[in-house]
A and B are shown apart, each in its own frame.
Chain A
Amino acid sequence: MAFETPHDGSGTVLSWRSTNYTITNVVVSMTDPTATDDKINVSHLGQTAGETAKTLALPLAGASSGDTGQSVQFDYIGKTLIADKETGTLSISIGGSSLLSRVGTVQSSTLTLATQDAIRGQATIRIERS
């Protein structure tokens, strides 16, 4: 999708469980959990120097409830405490264009109350793969 310049993230709206948050920072992470180096090393002494190391994929697949490899971390201002394990829909749009809208589960959440500062929170939502 294309966004109008400047790509400074202004006009970004983040909604979690139908509530819009006053966000100050958003990090969207997309990692293929199967692209990791979790392979079985089956290289052997019979191979010659310079040959490619032999590997095999793990025989068992990762649990479906495990890491999807995709998450959104955002910082917000406000006194709403986001509870862990909450599940709902996370939507992000930039300048009216939807970036993503997925079901996710809260992986971690913090709310910081400090002197001479606004109440700030941070949450990491693990989103389901589409």
Chain B
Amino acid sequence: MATYAAGVTASFRGVSFGEVQEIAVTHGGSMPLGRSVPFFVDGGTVEIKCLSTTNISSSLYGKRGDLAISGGGLTYTAKCVCETLKINGVVNDVAKYTASFRVQT
């Protein structure tokens, strides 16, 4: 049974994003390394596209913290580092924001 991607909330370091339109989580980006203790060079990426500037700030860049997504079959929690922030403006449209995170396992 399909699950509606509705009623979803996403937050980073305890602050929620507003008017989130798209969430893309890729968990895992490289093969685990190490013998005694496995570790990962790339734990994956999370991309959040939204229309609100809430929680969208250049001060987020490089910050590490808990990223939590819940609801609508999109539940996911991970320690992440904010990797990029993108502000997109197109004529005759609303401003759009994209925050990208690198997953640290």
Contact A45 B8 (CB under 8 A): yes
Q: Main SS of chain A's interface residues?
A: loop
Q: Are B91 and A49 in contact (CB under 8 A)?
A: no
Count contacts on B: residues with CB < 8 A to the other chain.
22
Residue from B6, B10, B19 within 8 A of A42 (CB atoms): B19
When the two chains form the complex, which single residue of B5, B92, B93 contacts A45, counting CB atoms closer than 8 Å?
B5
Assess the B93–A44 pair: CB atoms within 8 A: no
Q: Which residues of A are at the interface with B, using a C-beta cutoff of 8 A?
A: 40, 42-49, 51, 56, 58-60
Picked from A40, A48, A58, A59, the residue with its CB within 8 Å of the CB of B6 is A48
* A44 B92 Cβ-Cβ under 8 A: no
Is B51 within 8 A of A42, CB to CB? yes
A45–B91 alpha-carbon span in the complex (Å): 24
A42 contacts across to B, CB distance below 8 A: 19, 51, 94
Enumerate chain A residues within 8 angstroms of B50, measured Cβ to Cβ.
44
Indicate if the CB atoms of A60 and B94 lie closer than 8 Å: no
